[in-house]
């Protein structure tokens, strides 16, 4: 090997200087173009977003789709699964002028009322492991300008970026849990991040639950999420914080196989009706099954994950002191609703 290398060096040294300089310039140009092409390919894969929406005859999905396309600068592919009981309901979609990158598929089926079930159906139909960035939105949500920048900047590698709509003031919000009268957990109204969530370098922090309004992840993460027990059974959003059946009962609650995070910048415009609808969907399981659902911890009632870090506490409440006050207040809320 060394002899071959030495012969090669000897051959190059014997070339005239102008020819050698030209050869080196050609090689350098080739390597530079190759590097730029690889970077461009990598950037292109991350700058493409697939948006999935379930549409109904009410037609609220049209505003969602149009706001997403108009407020996005990246390569956006939109797929709408229009759920109809009759083909005549398709006329609503035909009356709307949609961008070329929007594809509408009609499914003659009964609409699944829980966003968790709707998301699962979209994943099954459209998502594969190779998809880089896949977003799922509830119909009726309105995207803010620059929402795609937030998604691509803060998307966790192996997790799900999820969020409620913005507050009245336009600030990003984070979800929290509450304890129902029977002791089980359900999602509560969201709280605003103070001053854009100071003290967090990543731009997102752990979320206490999955939010049906908007979520984004890689195809691989979505397919893994779909296989989680609480998703398969169509249970409440709060179940996302739990681990597998075997892990329950441990002293320290296990982390879910797919962790959810909430961004510190707003993605969706404020709409109290959408959150109210989401909260109505998260009223727990059927009669007689509620107590199988773990009650929320004091931290989760305050909107903090069970293993909340210093960074998460400061991002959500502005300071450690403020987070302690919130947790203390949450403890009194739980004590007023003991398990029956």
* 52 beta partners: 79, 136
Residue 143 confidence (pLDDT): 97
Task: List the CATH code of the domain at 45-335.
Answer: 3.90.550
Please give the angle made by the CA atoms of 301, 303 and 306, to the nearest 5 degrees: 80
In this prediction, residues 76-94 reach a mean pLDDT of 75
- Across the range 274-297, mean pLDDT stands at 64
- Per-residue pLDDT at 91: 63
Which tens digits make up the pLDDT trace of 161-192? 999 999 999 999 999 988 877 777 788 899 99
Task: Provide the pLDDT for residue 55.
Answer: 84
The model carries a pTM of: 0.76
H helix intervals, 155-305? 219-226, 229-232, 272-281, 298-301
User: According to the model, what pLDDT value does residue 84 have?
Assistant: 76
Q: What are phi and psi of 206, to 5 degrees?
A: -55, 145
pLDDT band of residue 115 (cuts 50, 70, 90) is confident
pLDDT at res. 214? 95
- Euclidean distance between CA atoms 179 and 177, whole angstroms: 7
Can you give the pLDDT at residue 29? 67
Looking at per-residue confidence, does 236 or 328 come out higher? Answer: 328
CA-angle at 81, arms to 77 and 83, nearest 5°: 165
**Residue pLDDT, tens place only, 35-56:** 555 544 444 445 789 999 988 8
User: Sheet of 204-206: strands edge to edge?
Assistant: 102-108, 75-84, 48-55, 134-137, 214-217, 160-163, 260-263, 204-206
Domain boundary assignment for the chain = 45-335
User: Which one has a higher pLDDT value, 285 or 70?
Assistant: 70
CA distance 335 to 237: 22
Over range 86-98, report the average pLDDT. Answer: 65
Q: Which residue has the higher pLDDT, 202 or 241?
A: 202
CA distance 236 to 215: 16
Residue 104 has pLDDT above 70, yes or no: yes
pLDDT, average across residues 248-259: 55
Arithmetic mean of pLDDT, 130-155: 93
| The two structure tokens encoding residue 113 | 């009322």
């Amino acid at each position: 090997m060394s002899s071959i290398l030495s012969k090669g060096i000897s051959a190059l040294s014997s070339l005239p200087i102008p020819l050698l300089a030209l050869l080196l310039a050609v090689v350098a140009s080739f390597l530079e173009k190759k590097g730029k092409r690889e970077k461009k390919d990598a950037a292109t894969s991350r700058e493409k977003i697939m948006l999935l929406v379930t549409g109904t005859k009410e037609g609220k999905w049209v505003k969602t789709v149009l706001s997403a396309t108009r407020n996005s600068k990246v390569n956006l592919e939109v797929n709408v699964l229009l759920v109809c009981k009759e083909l005549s309901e398709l006329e609503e979609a035909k009356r709307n002028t949609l961008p070329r990158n929007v594809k509408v598929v009609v499914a003659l089926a009964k609409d699944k009322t829980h966003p968790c079930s709707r998301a699962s159906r979209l994943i099954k139909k459209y998502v594969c492991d190779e998809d880089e960035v896949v977003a799922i939105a509830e119909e009726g949500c309105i995207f803010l300008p620059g929402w795609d920048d937030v998604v691509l900047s803060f998307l966790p590698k192996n997790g799900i970026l999820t969020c409620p709509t913005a507050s009245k003031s336009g600030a990003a919000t984070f979800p929290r849990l509450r304890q129902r009268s029977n002791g089980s957990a359900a999602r509560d109204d969201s709280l605003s991040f103070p001053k854009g969530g100071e003290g967090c370098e990543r731009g997102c922090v752990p979320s206490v639950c999955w939010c049906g309004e908007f979520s984004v992840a890689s195809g691989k993460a979505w397919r893994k999420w779909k296989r989680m027990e609480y998703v398969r059974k169509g249970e409440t959003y709060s179940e996302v914080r739990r681990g597998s059946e075997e892990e329950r009962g441990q002293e320290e609650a296990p982390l879910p196989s797919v962790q959810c995070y909430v961004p510190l910048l707003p993605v969706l415009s404020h709409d109290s009706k959408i959150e109210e609808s989401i909260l109505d969907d998260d009223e727990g399981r059927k009669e007689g099954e509620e107590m199988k659902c773990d009650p929320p911890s004091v931290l989760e009632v305050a909107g903090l994950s069970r293993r909340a870090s210093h960074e998460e506490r400061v991002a959500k409440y502005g300071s450690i002191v403020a987070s302690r006050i919130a947790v203390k207040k949450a403890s009194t809320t739980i004590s007023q609703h003991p398990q029956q």
